[in-house]
């Protein structure tokens, strides 16, 4: 079972910078919870690019460093049902991102039921999805992945 902690802000909201606008939709969970950020969607021909957030379980560490998860840019083709993960950038506890590491694997057909297929469906049909969260904090710490 994964349980995510709530963020605590020490500065008043009036002094905090505005959070980055997102349109997160929950794609599913397995080893990680996956969210497509439909605000990042860039349509190009029969497909485009989209950013996906994967959220790790609470207290996830690697090499002694705590991580919330990571971001990946994906290219997709709706007509061919193809996806291509372009990179991965870790998301450290506290929100520090990166650096991005390119993913050299070639594009592939997304298998129904897999994480990439769920992302493809959301990216190709964004109007069919309700927004689950609009900020990283709401998504990761208060969204539908809170317990799974």
Structure confidence by residue, pLDDT tens digits, 115-125: 999 999 999 99
Collapsed DSSP state (helix, strand, coil) of residue 25: strand
Average pLDDT over residues 42-48: 96
Q: What is the pTM of this model?
A: 0.79
Mean pLDDT of the chain: 82
Strands 47-55 and 61-62: unpaired
Structure confidence by residue, pLDDT tens digits, 65-112: 999 899 999 999 999 999 999 999 999 988 899 999 999 999 999 999
* Residues 105 and 85 sit within 8 Å (Cβ to Cβ): yes
């Amino acid at each position: 079972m994964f349980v995510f902690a709530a963020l605590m802000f020490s500065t008043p909201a009036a002094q905090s910078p505005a959070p980055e606008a997102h349109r997160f939709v929950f794609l599913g969970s397995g080893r990680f919870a996956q969210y497509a950020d439909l605000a990042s969607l860039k349509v190009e021909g029969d497909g485009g690019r989209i950013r996906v957030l994967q959220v790790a379980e609470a207290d996830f560490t690697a090499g002694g460093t705590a991580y919330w998860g990571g971001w990946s840019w994906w290219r997709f083709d709706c007509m061919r049902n193809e996806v291509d993960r372009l990179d991965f950038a870790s998301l450290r506890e506290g929100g520090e991102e990166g650096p991005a590491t390119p993913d050299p694997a070639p594009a592939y057909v997304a298998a129904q039921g897999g994480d990439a297929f769920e992302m493809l469906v959301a990216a190709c049909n964004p109007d069919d999805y309700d927004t689950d969260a609009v900020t990283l904090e709401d998504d990761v710490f208060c969204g539908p992945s809170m317990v799974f």
